[in-house]
Amino acid sequence: MRLRGLNLRYVLRRLGTFVLTVWLAATLIFIIPRLAGGNPIAAMVGKISVAAGGAETAHSGALVAAWDARFGLNDPVFVQYLIFLKNSVTFNFGFSITDYPASVNQLIGAALPWTLGLVGLATVIAFVLGTGIGAFMAWRRTPSLIRSVLPLSLTFTAVPSFMLGLLLLWVFSYTLGWFPAGNAYSLGVTPGLNLPFLWNVVQHGILPALTIVGAAMGFWALSMRGMMVTIEGEDYMVLGEAKGLRPSRLFWRYRVRNSALPQVTSLALNLGAIISGQILVEYLFDYPGVGQLLYQGILNEDYVLVESIVFLLIVATALAVLVLDLILPLIDPRISYLREVPR
Amino acid sequence: MSDAVLEVEGLKVEYQTSSGPAVAVNGISFQVFPGETLGLVGESGCGKSTTAMAILNLVQAPGRIAEGSIRLNGTELSTLNPRSMRRIRWQEVALIPQGAMDSLNPVVRVDSQIAEVIEDHEGRQRFADMHERITELLGMVGLPARVGRLYPHELSGGMKQRVCIAMAIALRPKLLVADEPTSALDVVVQRVVAQTLLDVTQRLGMAMILIGHDIALQAQLVDRMAVMYAGSIVEVGRVESIFDHPSHPYTQLLVSSVPSITERRRRPSDATVREVHHRPSGCVFRLRCPQAFDRCRAEVPAMRELVPGHVVACHLYAGGSGEPAPAEAAGHV
Ligand SMILES: Nc1ncnc2c1ncn2[C@@H]1O[C@H](COP(=O)(O)OP(=O)(O)O)[C@@H](O)[C@H]1O
Ligand code: SF4
Ligand SMILES: [Mg+2]
Per-position pLDDT tens, chain A of length 343? 455 667 788 889 989 999 999 999 889 888 887 777 666 677 667 766 666 665 555 567 777 777 777 667 777 888 888 888 888 888 887 777 766 677 888 888 888 988 998 899 999 999 999 999 999 988 888 888 888 878 887 887 778 888 888 888 888 878 887 877 777 777 777 777 777 778 877 888 888 888 999 888 989 999 999 999 999 889 999 999 999 999 999 999 999 999 998 898 889 888 888 887 788 888 888 888 899 899 988 888 777 888 888 888 889 989 998 988 888 888 888 887 765 444 4
More confident residue, B95 or A153: B95
pLDDT at residue A339, rounded to an integer: 53
Category of A193 on φ-ψ map: left (φ > 0), alpha (ψ -120 to 50) or beta: beta
CATH 1.10.3720.10, domain A107-299, yes or no: yes
| d(C-alpha A134, C-alpha A220), whole Å | 7
Residue A284: the pLDDT is: 87
In B, which residues are within 8 Å of A339 by CB distance?
none
Q: What does the alpha-carbon distance between residue A334 and residue B102 come to, in Å, rounded to a whole number?
A: 13
pLDDT score recorded for residue B260: 47
pLDDT above 70 (res B331): no
CA distance B93 to B222: 18
Nearest partner of B316 among B331, B301, B305, judged by Cα: B301
Largest CA distance in chain A: 89
- For residue range B111-138, list pLDDT tens digits in order: 999 999 999 999 999 999 999 999 999 9
Structure confidence at residue B8 (pLDDT): 97
> What pLDDT is recorded for position B330?
54
Stated pTM of the model: 0.82
Nearest-CA distance from A343 to chain B in Å?
7
Mean pLDDT of the B251-262 span: 72
Residues 6+ apart with CB under 8 A from A157: A214, A215, A216, A217, A218, A219, A221, A222
| Nearest ligand, CA B99 | 3
B156 at the A interface (CB within 8 A)? yes
Residue of higher predicted confidence among B282 and A94 = B282
Q: Of the candidates A236, A242, A342, which has its C-beta nearest B105's C-beta? A: A236
What mean pLDDT is predicted for residues B307-333? 70
Q: Strand B175-179: give its sheet, edge to edge.
A: B93-96, B175-179, B207-212, B37-41, B224-229, B232-238, B310-313, B303-307
Atom of ligand 2 nearest to the CA of B250: 5
B267 CB-side CA count, 13 A:
8
Q: At what angle do helices A257-273 and A121-137 cross, to 10 degrees?
A: 160
**Out of A24-28, A67-71, B251-255, B317-321, least confident range:** B317-321
> What are the structural domain ranges in chain A?
107-299
Average pLDDT, chain B: 88
Q: How confident is the model at residue B266 (pLDDT cuts 50, 70, 90)?
A: very low
User: Which is the closest atom of ligand 1 to the Cα of B52?
Assistant: 17
* Dist CA A140 CA A147 (whole Å): 9
Contact with chain B for residue A75, Cβ under 8 A = no
Strand order in the sheet with B75-76: B20-32, B6-17, B63-72, B75-76
For chain B, what is the radius of gyration of the CA atoms?
21
Please indicate whether residue A106 or residue B310 has the higher confidence score (pLDDT).
B310
